[in-house]
Amino acid sequence: MGRRKTRKIVVRPKPKVPTVFNCPACGKKAVRVVISKTEKTATVKCGSCKMELTIPSHALMEPVDAYGVFVDAFKKAEIKPEISTEE
């Protein structure tokens, strides 16, 4: 009598949180988020159109959260790109 064969457990990799995001103004993948824990601020900046937003952050804030605030501020027209997006 043999031992019952056990099924191999498939380990799926966990999805990673992105670090570079799409810019809502120029559409390029050039938005970076820098969270400063000491200054308690988050800076969201597009490397292409130079649009930037600095917001207060808290201990649980992730880069995705700061990017969401950035997109909301852009849609409310609180921030504007420095370089014209019309070509």
Domains of the chain are 20-75 (2.20.25.190)
- Whether residue 5 is predicted with pLDDT greater than 90 in this model: the reply is no
Q: In angstroms, what CA-CA distances link 8 with 13, 26, 44, 52, 70?
A: 16, 47, 44, 49, 44
Per-chain mean pLDDT for the chain: 89
What 3 state SS string does 31-87 have?
Answer: EEEEEECCCCEEEEEECCCCCEEEEECCCCCCHHHHHHHHHHHHHCCCCCCCCCCCC
DSSP state of 14: P
Least confident residue range of 47-51, 61-65, 77-81: 77-81
- pTM given for the model: 0.76
